């Protein structure tokens, strides 16, 4: 968990340094009712940025487990060829090149919401050797946190129900990590006998 917590801290710290709203998002950040504005901003991400995952090798096979070399993921295909995916450390790089993964999408949304003055926090869920990042924003009238997944087409209010998932959150780079697992407990569906 130490490595994941450090990664979350680094994402939050970098997200707080956004100097201005990126040009590609300026028309969706216009004023409006809270839910409509947040939903419009969140759902602009999958329309305007390309989600890069997983890596496809020649022959159509996918490689899911990379080797990290600095900030790059190196994928070795079955035929021995290698593909490299650059992870962005700062939101400005993500906004400039317009592609990334869940981590870049979440960090970008977090940075934009903070720049607009919203109370937002970045969350990290991890389970069975995998992890995911997403954002929560504080709803001032409902007095509760709303989950946002900027990598999903309908990301407003979307939670990540994974069996055995542990969740930590960080409000800003100076706050302490908070365990949010109880807010994201996996609930078995009576319709699917344990499916999502």
For the stretch 141-175, pLDDT in tens is: 999 999 999 999 889 988 777 778 899 999 998 89
Lowest-confidence region among 65-69, 101-105, 164-168: 65-69
High-pLDDT (> 70) share of the chain, %:
92
pLDDT 10s digits, 21-46: 999 998 999 889 999 999 999 999 99
CA–CA distance, 170 with 109 (Å, rounded to integer): 14
Residues 6+ positions from 154 with CB-CB distance below 8 Å: 43
Task: Tell me phi and psi for residue 17, to 5 degrees.
Answer: -100, 10
Q: Name the residue with higher pLDDT: 92 or 79.
A: 92
Answer for the pair 44, 151: CB distance below 8 angstroms, yes or no: no
CA–CA distance, 113 with 135 (Å, rounded to integer): 10
CA 70 to chain centre: 20
CA 94 to chain centre: 12
Residue whose structure tokens are 């409006």: 32
What sections of the chain are H helices per DSSP?
A: 2-15, 34-48, 91-97, 102-115
**Measured at the alpha carbon of residue 48, what is the angle toward residues 42 and 50, in degrees to the nearest 5?**
105
Question: Is residue 186 over pLDDT 70?
Answer: no
Lowest-confidence region among 5-9, 157-161, 190-194: 190-194
Q: What is the pLDDT of residue 3?
A: 85
Q: What is the pLDDT of residue 145?
A: 95
Q: Name the residue with higher pLDDT: 119 or 26.
A: 119
By three-state DSSP, how is residue 110 classified?
helix
CA–CA distance, 62 with 54 (Å, rounded to integer): 6
Question: Is residue 191 over pLDDT 60?
Answer: no
């Amino acid at each position: 968990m130490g490595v994941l917590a450090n990664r979350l801290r680094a994402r939050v710290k970098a997200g707080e340094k956004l100097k201005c709203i990126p040009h590609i998002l300026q028309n969706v950040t216009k004023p409006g009712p809270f839910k409509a504005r947040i939903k419009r901003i969140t759902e602009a991400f999958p329309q305007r940025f390309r989600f890069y995952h997983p890596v496809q090798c020649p022959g159509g096979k996918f490689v899911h487990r990379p080797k990290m070399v600095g900030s790059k993921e190196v994928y070795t295909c079955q035929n021995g060829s290698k593909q490299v995916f650059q992870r962005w450390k700062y939101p400005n790089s993500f906004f400039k090149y317009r592609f990334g993964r869940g981590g870049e999408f979440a960090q970008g949304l977090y940075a934009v919401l903070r720049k607009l003055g919203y109370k937002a926090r970045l969350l990290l869920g991890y389970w069975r050797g995998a992890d995911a990042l997403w954002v929560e924003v504080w709803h001032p009238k409902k007095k509760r946190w709303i989950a946002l997944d900027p990598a999903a087409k309908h990301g407003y209010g979307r939670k990540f129900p994974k069996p055995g998932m542990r969740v930590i959150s960080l409000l800003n780079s100076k706050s302490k990590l908070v365990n949010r697992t109880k807010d994201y407990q996996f609930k078995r569906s009576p319709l699917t006998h344990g499916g999502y």
